[in-house]
């Protein structure tokens, strides 16, 4: 059993702008203002659309352009709450806003498990992956009260163990010695043209790192922070657990090679 990726992609037209209300903003280079959780963003219109959608970066809301709920927004809006929006049904506000971040984690986990199931080299762990996929799917169909009782940390830990095994199996097929930068502080690092093929970059801090023309084929990038990283001319084909938000947060160009399942960000030049 596997998922088609559209289910795990945001469908804002079927969401009640939950990312613009449920989540907090902290004034920074990513957000122009402070906003507490549960309070609508000042740019949110009555029809649940963003009033500055085409000008978010220019107006200081870069963080909005890199966020992705992996489809959790429409799941909470249309399934968990059956299409009842928080404006028309204000009694849903608290439970809905609490459910959204939990659902977002579940959908992110589904994304990673789905990707792992598509990797032939990870076949030895596919049976276990299918079991946790079914379990996680079941949680996404739960009501808000049940979601509130979910131990997401435990579920994430069990799934992460399988994702780590997946990574090891896939990267083992890459010839030669692979670099291990798991959790490393590589902020601003000069890695232009570096051979990082099959490298372990899980959770690495690559903020503003120069990865131009780097070979990142089959590198494990789960949880790597690529904010403002230079990916111009880099080769990310086959990168393991690379997400759209990671690409959106980085800088690239037409020569950047990305996996076919992801989309080239519109701000790349």
pLDDT in tens, 29-51: 889 999 999 999 999 999 999 99
CA 49 – CA 45 distance, rounded (Å)? 5
CA 180 – CA 21 distance, rounded (Å)? 39
Give domain 177-269's CATH architecture: 3 Solenoid (2.160)
Residue-wise pLDDT tens digits, 96-130: 999 999 999 999 999 999 999 999 999 999 999 99
- Evaluate if residue 3 carries a pLDDT over 70: no
Residues 6+ apart with CB under 8 A from 64: 19, 20, 31, 50, 56
- Whole-Å CA distances, 15 to 12, 18, 79: 5, 7, 10
CB atoms within 10 A of CB 6: 8
Handedness of CA 225, 229, 231, 235 (dihedral sign): negative
Cα–Cα–Cα angle for 30, 230, 110, nearest 5°? 65
CA 187 – CA 167 distance, rounded (Å)? 23
- Domain spans of the chain, in order of start: 5-170, 177-269
Q: Is residue 83 within 8 Å of 77, Cβ to Cβ?
A: yes
pLDDT band, residue 269 (cuts 50/70/90): confident
Average pLDDT of the residues of the chain: 94
Residue-wise pLDDT tens digits, 187-203: 999 999 999 999 999 99
CA 215 – CA 231 distance, rounded (Å)? 10
Cα–Cα–Cα angle for 244, 247, 252, nearest 5°? 145
pLDDT band, residue 2 (cuts 50/70/90): very low
* Span 135-140, average pLDDT: 94
CA 224 – CA 201 distance, rounded (Å)? 6
């Amino acid at each position: 059993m596997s998922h088609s990726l559209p289910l795990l992609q945001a469908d804002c037209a079927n969401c009640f702008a939950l990312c613009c209300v449920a989540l907090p903003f902290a004034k920074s280079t990513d957000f122009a203002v402070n906003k507490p959780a549960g309070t609508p963003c000042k740019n949110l219109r009555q029809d649940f659309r963003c009033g500055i959608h085409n000008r978010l970066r220019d107006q200081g809301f870069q963080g909005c352009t890199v966020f992705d709920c992996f489809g959790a927004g429409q799941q909470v809006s249309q399934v968990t709450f059956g299409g009842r929006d928080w404006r028309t049904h204000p009694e849903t506000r608290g439970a809905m806003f609490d459910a959204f971040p939990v659902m977002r984690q579940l959908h992110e986990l589904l994304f990673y498990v789905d990707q792992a199931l598509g990797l032939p080299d990870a076949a030895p762990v596919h049976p276990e992956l299918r079991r946790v996929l079914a379990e996680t799917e079941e949680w996404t169909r739960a009501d808000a009260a049940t979601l509130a009782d979910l131990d997401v940390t435990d579920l994430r830990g069990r799934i992460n163990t399988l994702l780590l095994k997946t990574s090891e199996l896939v990267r083992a097929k890459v010839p030669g010695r692979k670099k291990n930068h798991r959790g490393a502080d590589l902020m601003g690092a000069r890695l232009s043209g570096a051979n990082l093929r099959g490298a372990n970059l899980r959770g690495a801090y690559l903020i503003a790192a120069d990865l131009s023309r780097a070979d990142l084929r089959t590198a494990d990038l789960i949880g790597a922070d690529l904010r403002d990283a230079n990916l111009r001319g880099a080769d990310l084909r086959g990168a393991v657990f690379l997400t759209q938000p990671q690409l959106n947060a980085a800088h690239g160009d037409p020569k950047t090679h990305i996996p076919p399942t992801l989309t080239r960000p519109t701000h790349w030049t």
